[in-house]
């Protein structure tokens, strides 16, 4: 068991609570994105024990954050929403130089790579203009609800594994976010089962697609990933507030995010 992944999972779990933040982006920040894709793909192979040793502590960390820190994060989002988002903006901006270095962009990037980067950034940034209509949760369960929960889990997990794409935002757009949170927060077993199956299926399918592109088109894929990460800054940018004090806090938290991103980069490099 790679228990180091417990704290990584906690950070990813916190990000999943915040609408607009992608778990895939946090995996990139933590330097485990490629390993995560490899581990999900390896669950059904002969090396499944090694890959589960990577995934189980990570999953435990995510669940620990969701079920123990959700109230704290939601309180912070209620009282200091801009400041929390500016912290994540700092984290995201702080990781971009490391991504560019990993992709060796000065040597490997050509016109098509910059085109992919630009398209990905614009695509993700454009989701900021969609309305987030929450609605009411579905509390009665029948065959239709089970299918919707399965598809919601599939959609959320497929999105969360892609940097820059927020699973919670997509669920808001299709009107399933309230039901998703209701099932998780109230631990509704009959809803959790189809949801878990959808999440598992989505992770397996999307990870295979991403692994293929990383194996065959590494630099093009990284151009896309960097574009997705850059575009996500536009999505979560909350703007400034009338209060000077709160704006100073926001700017300071950008600095904190930049520092934490650099620190995480050093820790992961040493690992």
pLDDT at 270: 55
Structure confidence at residue 153 (pLDDT): 87
Give the span between the Cα atoms of 127 and 199, in whole angstroms. 22
Q: What is the DSSP letter of 132?
A: -
The tally of domains found in the chain comes to 1
The pLDDT value recorded for residue 108 is 93
CB atoms within 10 A of CB 222: 25
Report d(CA 55, CA 46) in Å as an integer.
15
State residue 4's pLDDT score.
Answer: 84
Mean pLDDT by 10 residues, the chain (271 residues): 86 75 78 89 88 93 83 82 89 86 90 94 81 67 89 81 73 75 80 90 89 91 89 87 94 92 69 51
User: Residues 170, 132: contact at Cβ < 8 Å?
Assistant: no
**pLDDT on residue 92:** 85
Query: What is the C-alpha separation between 71 and 17, in angstroms, rounded?
Result: 10
Closest CA to 51 of 266, 211, 242, 160: 211
Print the domain residue range for 37.
5-270
Q: How far is CA 145 from CA 17, 193, 194, in A?
A: 23, 12, 9
């Amino acid at each position: 068991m790679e228990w180091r992944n417990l704290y990584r999972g906690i950070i990813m779990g916190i990000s999943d609570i915040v609408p607009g933040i992608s778990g895939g982006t946090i995996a990139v920040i933590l330097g485990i994105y490629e390993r995560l894709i490899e581990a999900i793909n390896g669950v059904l192979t002969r090396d499944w024990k090694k890959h589960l040793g990577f995934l189980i502590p990570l999953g435990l960390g995510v669940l620990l954050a969701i079920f123990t820190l959700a109230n704290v994060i939601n309180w912070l989002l209620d009282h200091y929403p801009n400041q929390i988002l500016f912290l994540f903006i700092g984290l995201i901006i702080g990781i971009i130089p490391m991504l560019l270095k990993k992709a060796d962009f000065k040597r490997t990037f050509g016109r098509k790579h910059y085109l992919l980067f630009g398209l990905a950034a614009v695509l993700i940034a454009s989701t900021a203009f969609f309305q987030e209509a929450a609605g009411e949760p579905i509390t009665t369960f029948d065959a239709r609800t089970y299918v919707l929960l399965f598809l919601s889990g599939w959609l959320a997990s497929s999105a969360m594994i892609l940097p820059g794409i927020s699973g919670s935002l997509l669920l808001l757009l299709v009107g399933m976010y309230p039901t998703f949170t209701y099932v998780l927060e109230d631990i509704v077993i009959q809803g959790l089962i189809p949801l878990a199956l959808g999440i598992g299926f989505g992770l397996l399918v999307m990870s295979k697609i991403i692994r293929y592109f990383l194996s065959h088109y590494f630099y093009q894929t990284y151009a896309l990933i960097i574009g997705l990460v850059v575009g996500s800054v536009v999505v979560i940018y909350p703007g400034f507030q009338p209060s000077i004090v709160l704006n100073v806090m926001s700017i300071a938290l950008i600095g904190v995010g930049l520092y934490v991103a650099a620190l995480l980069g050093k820790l992961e490099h040493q690992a």
